[in-house]
Chain A
Amino acid sequence: MQALSQMSWPWRVTLGYLFLMLGLPLTALVLKSTTVGPADFWRIATAPVALSTYEVTFVTALVAALINGVMGTLTAWVLVRYTFPFKKVLEGIIDLPFALPTAVAGLTLATVYSTNGWLGSLVAPMGIRIAFTRLGVGVAMLFISFPFVVRTVQPVLQEIEKDIEEAAWSLGASRFQTFQRVVLPQILSATLTGVALGFSRAVGEYGSIVIIASSIPFRDLIAAVLVIQRLEQYDYAGATVIGTVMLLISFLSLLVINLLQAWGSRYET
């Protein structure tokens, strides 16, 4: 307590806020989940259906975040390096997934990707179904996590001076070599940050996925939907156990990505 009294007021306010907004709810979640006892906790957490939802959620989210890592970087490159008509409009559209209610996003995606939708009807003859499959889950995760990488990479790209690239050219590097050896390493850390944010967002997504997925266990049921299903059955303990496991996995994934990020910016002092 003496340490607390020596802290300046921004510190105290921040700590108080963090405790109220993050510490307390997380503690409550963990405490609630431990009311079932270790044996039951383990049984619920490792039930086959629960395991399958972890896999569907985290693997799909990771794939979506990685795809957006590439596409978002490319988009940021285009936005920084090219001028074209309606650029401002495009900048606005990129942020739409931030603003759009997720249920609306799900509805829109389901319309486009269902077997009689614009895109869904094109791939349906090839035997590919997107909506109401795991692919649909992936599309929804791609959609809602897209802006993160663009928005983290864009300012970093903007800061890279043109003369860095010109220096590489003058030393004989082709445009591709210049991108690969000079530009990419400098934006890698920002890309990873974007991927981490996009990944967390995708893991937590519920509203759009519940609409575009069929939520059949072992196929496209995600953990967040399983939590809701448990709640609907008044199985609060089951819901919080799965919630706690998600929390742990998310936390570990973010830790790994943060380490990668630190490695990506090791040259900055």
Chain B
Amino acid sequence: MGITIEGVSKRFGEFQALQPTDLTIETGSLVALLGPSGSGKSTLLRLIAGLETPDSGRIFLTGRDATHASVQDRNIGFVFQHYALFKHMTVRQNIAFGLEIRKASRAEIRARVDELLELVQLSGFGERYPSQLSGGQRQRVALARALAVEPQVLLLDEPFGALDAKVRKELRTWLRRLHDEVHVTTVFVTHDQEEAMEVADQIVVMNQGQIEQVGSPAEVYDHPATPFVMSFVGPVNELSPRSQLSCQLPDSQTGPHQLFLRPHDVQIEVDPSSSGVSARVADVIHLGREIQAELILNDGGSLWVHLSREQYANQPIQVGQQVYIRPKVVKAFPLKKAEMTRIPVGA
């Protein structure tokens, strides 16, 4: 009963940002809205916040119909990609802002701000101005400010998008831990599948203004509901139906299907007696924690494969070498429409 969305849609001029959408988010959960830009994820978040008004449908926050409630009355916390801190106020004043608007007593504000500074690990920074903080610190202040008013729902719009890779990684872990402590229903928007997987209990995958799938990170990754989800949540090879690899599959999975193979779901053998499909190694790239290789099949098709360091150590392959491959898991989707968004393999 955290957040319930019923048939909510939104159009900006000619652009249908969100198709009529239903979604239920459990109280206390940590949910990621994942999708490419223009998929409607930010629009959905802003609709929940009341920063946009829906063209149709209803929005319930903790059981209360909030469709027509103003953003001020929804008791939400909102965190923006670019922090949106009040730069003329100190960290302390920023965090106290919501409490002052609610006319909390001085002592109460002081205690609460101290508590939040502690929570976001910025205890010594209360008297600084935002311009004196790093990006990661600013975003933690923004979080503390949003949490100060004890919101029913915490909404974050690409909260780590403006931070560099290392800080982003730290903050993700930190957000996850914070949620375990505070337990406020949290929804965050991201276009980074790794971020969604790492932080969220539930992932809502969105594309072209629609929800493609709702599920746990494992469900979304292992049992993608649509070709889009398959290709968005991780790297994939799309197999042509006429490929030699496809011919190895049971009949039921050929025909008008879209076939996908994850680069790590491929077994590589070097023994010429192998019954695998033969291919030539065209390129080997060391990515650090894994090795990526490009293989060219005899029919000219190419395939990306990822090998773990152990696999590679046990069986090194070189450019130009002849290998034999056996797909371990191939995902087949009945073909509906030709149009489909795909991300490049290895992205």
Q: What residues of chain A have their CB less than 8 Å away from a CB belonging to chain B?
A: 161, 163-164, 166-174, 177, 181-182, 185-186, 267-269
Select which of A161, A173, A186 is within 8 A of B72 by beta carbon. Answer: A173
Assembled-state Cα–Cα distance A268/B142 (Å): 18
Task: Give Cα distance in the complex from A164 to B145, angstroms.
Answer: 13
> When A185-B88, A269-B129 are in contact, do A172 and B101 touch as well, CB less than 8 Å?
yes
Majority secondary structure of chain A interface residues (helix, strand, loop or mixed): helix
Contact present for A161 and B82 (CB under 8 Å):
yes
Q: Could you tell me the distance in whole angstroms from the C-beta of B269 to the nearest C-beta in chain A? A: 55
Given the complex, which residues of A lie within 8 Å of B72, measured CB to CB? 169-170, 172-174
Distance to closest chain B CB from A92 (angstroms): 29
Are A168 and B97 CB-contacts (below 8 A) given A161-B82, A163-B80?
yes
Please report the C-alpha to C-alpha distance between residue A239 and residue B158 in the assembled complex, in whole angstroms: 66
Please tell me if the beta carbons of A166 and B71 are within 8 angstroms of each other in the complex. yes
- Name the interface residues of B227-283: CB closer than 8 Å to any CB of A: none
Contact with A along B119-134 (1 / 0, CB 8 A): 0000000000101100
Cβ contact within 8 Å between A171 and B145: yes
B97 touches A173 (CB 8 A): yes
**Cβ-neighbour of B132 out of A171, A185, A269 (below 8 A):** A269
Q: Which of A163, A174, A177, A269 contacts B84 (CB 8 A)?
A: A163
B312 at the interface (CB under 8 A from A): no
A172 to B132, CA, bound (A): 26
Q: Are A171 and B97 in contact (CB under 8 A)?
A: yes
Q: How far is the CB of B134 from chain A (nearest CB, A)?
A: 13
Please give, as numbers and ranges, the residues of chain A lying within 8 Å of B54 by CB-CB distance: none
Chain B residues closer than 8 Å to A174, beta-carbon distance: 72
Is B343 interfacial (CB-CB < 8 Å)? no
Chain B neighbourhood of A181, CB < 8 A: 86, 97
Q: How far is the CB of B9 from chain A (nearest CB, A)?
A: 21
Least Cβ distance of B201 to chain A in Å? 23
Please name all residues of chain B whose beta carbon is closer than 8 Å to the beta carbon of A164 when the two chains form the complex.
84, 86
Query: Apart from A170-B146, A171-B101, A268-B129, what 8 extra A-B contacts exist at CB < 8 Å?
Result: A163-B82, A170-B76, A172-B72, A267-B89, A267-B90, A268-B87, A268-B131, A269-B129
- Docked CA distance A173–B87 (Å): 17
Note all chain A residues with C-beta closer than 8 A to B90. 267
Residue B78 lies at the interface, judged by CB distance under 8 Å to chain A: yes
* CA of A161 to CA of B162, assembled, Å: 15
* Contact in complex: A172, B102 (CB < 8 Å): yes
> Nearest A residue to B81 by beta-carbon distance?
A163
Nearest neighbor of B79 in chain A, beta-carbon distance: A167
